[in-house]
């Protein structure tokens, strides 16, 4: 048994659209691994998303942040519905700004890995794409959310990058690299700083702070790429990457690009990590058009469970769930169609993964 408590206190935000289906899948897999590894899961529902916004005019209930912070970890399904809007026209059910800033989960960690049995659109095979994007989560361009200035003829949003925010997310990236096996092409533990420091002073500060922190980790290689060059390299030569760290907006774009090389958004989980709170979620939206039809791919949510278990001190359970997902893909029990939906449906994928955990 891993060195963790016998009960995992888990807060759950089921979300909108396909969110409840994906969360049900994740809880079934958590129950299965808990039975095998001898711990229990206490689930506490925390409503959040578009349905709550319709009711209250805010996407979470009063006191939600305190309740989420008190849990060992949080699992969150996709939220938001396109027809639920704030008066300014933006979506009313989204939680990104609310949770990331409110819980100070400053590191958005997004693994990008091509698994066996998944046909990516590039020439690369399983194991040749295996890197992590660490996206600064609380500042950058997205800190301007709701604070921009606009007239009918012009609009302006500001990007804020601070030394404090950059230091802590860069340090998280280097510590993560120390725990990994290095880039697939050469086995080198490496952190790549992605920026546009040739154009913007804010990115020049990000790079300068990156170099200062890198000096604290002489055992981890450090290099730099401009964001446009990184976009090209993540498609043409993804095998050279291990960990990449970048500003919020760039991380949002490049992590979705990376997902496109490993089978789509449905193949990528994520963790939002802070000093005293963390939550785990897929990187895609709520897909209301397929909600309730057993068409959603739950693997993004299940891979988020892997990250959650590792975060709460159960690396053995995390490896068990990750191995079950990999095995189900490798032996063909789980197949993802060209539209992103799994053959047999959401529940069939869940059953296949549970079977391999129990067996």
Q: Known catalytic residue: 157?
A: no
| DSSP line for 271-319 | EEE-SS-EEEEESS---GGGTTTT----HHHHHHHHHHHHHTT-HHHHH
Catalytic site residue from 142, 242, 279, 310: 142
Catalytic site residue from 16, 195, 252, 310: 252
| DSSP line for 131-181 | EEEEEE-SSBGGGGTTT-EE-SS-EE---B--HHHHHHHHHHHHHHHHTS-
Q: Known catalytic residue: 226?
A: no
- Identify which of 64, 56, 54 has the alpha carbon closest to the alpha carbon of residue 91: 54
The number of beta carbons lying within 10 Å of the beta carbon of residue 47 is 16
Yes or no: say if 78 and 17 are a contact pair by the CB < 8 Å rule.
Answer: yes
Element (H, E) at 81: none
Sheet holding 40-45, edge to edge: 40-45, 7-13, 73-76, 278-282, 269-273, 107-113, 130-136, 243-246, 190-195, 221-226
Yes or no: say if 74 and 304 are a contact pair by the CB < 8 Å rule.
Answer: no
Question: CB-based burial of residue 186 (10 Å sphere; 0-12 exposed, 13-18 middle, 19+ buried)?
Answer: exposed
Q: Known catalytic residue: 252?
A: yes
Q: CA 341 to CA 349: how far, in whole Å?
A: 10
Catalytic site residue from 9, 37, 256, 294: 256
Q: Which three-class secondary structure state does DSSP give residue 124? A: coil
Residues 6+ apart with CB under 8 A from 114: 120, 124, 125, 126, 127, 128, 129, 130, 261, 262, 263
- Angle formed at CA 305 by CA 111 and CA 342, multiple of 5 degrees: 80
Catalytic site residue from 66, 223, 228, 331: 228
- Identify which of 326, 333, 133 has the alpha carbon closest to the alpha carbon of residue 238: 133
Catalytic site residue from 2, 9, 31, 196: 196
Residues classed as catalytic: 142, 196, 228, 252, 256
């Amino acid at each position: 048994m891993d060195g963790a408590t016998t009960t995992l206190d888990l807060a759950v935000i089921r979300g909108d659209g396909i969110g409840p289906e994906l969360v049900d899948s994740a809880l079934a897999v958590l129950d299965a691994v808990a039975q095998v590894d001898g711990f229990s899961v206490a689930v506490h529902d925390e409503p959040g998303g578009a349905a709550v916004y319709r009711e209250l005019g805010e996407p979470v209930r009063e006191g939600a942040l305190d309740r989420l912070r008190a849990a060992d970890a949080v699992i969150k399904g996709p939220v938001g519905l396109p027809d639920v809007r704030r008066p300014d026209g933006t979506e009313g059910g989204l939680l990104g700004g609310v949770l990331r800033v409110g819980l100070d989960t400053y590191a958005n960690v997004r693994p990008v890995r091509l698994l066996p049995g998944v046909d990516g659109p590039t020439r690369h095979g399983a194991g040749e794409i295996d890197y992590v994007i660490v996206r600064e989560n609380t500042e950058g361009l997205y800190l301007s959310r709701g604070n921009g200035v606009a007239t009918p003829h012009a609009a302006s949003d500001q990007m804020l990058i601070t030394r404090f925010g950059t230091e802590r997310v860069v340090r998280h990236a280097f510590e993560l690299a120390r725990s990994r096996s290095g880039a697939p092409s050469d086995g080198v533990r490496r952190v790549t700083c992605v920026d546009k420091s040739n154009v913007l002073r804010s990115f020049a500060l990000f790079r300068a702070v990156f170099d200062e922190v890198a000096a604290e980790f002489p055992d981890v290689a450090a290099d730099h790429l401009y964001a446009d060059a990184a976009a090209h390299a993540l498609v043409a030569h993804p095998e050279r990457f291990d960990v990449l760290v970048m500003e919020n907006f760039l991380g949002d774009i490049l992590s979705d690009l990376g997902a496109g090389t490993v089978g789509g958004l449905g193949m990528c989980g994520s963790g939002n990590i802070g000093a005293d709170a963390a939550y785990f979620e897929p990187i895609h939206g709520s897909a209301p058009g397929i909600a309730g039809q057993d068409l959603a791919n739950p693997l993004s949510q299940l891979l988020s469970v892997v990250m959650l278990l590792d975060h709460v001190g159960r690396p053995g359970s995390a490896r068990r769930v990750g191995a079950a997902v990999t095995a189900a893909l490798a032996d063909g029990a789980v197949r993802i169609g060209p539209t992103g939906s799994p053959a047999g449906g959401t529940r069939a994928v869940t059953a296949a993964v549970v079977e391999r955990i129990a067996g």
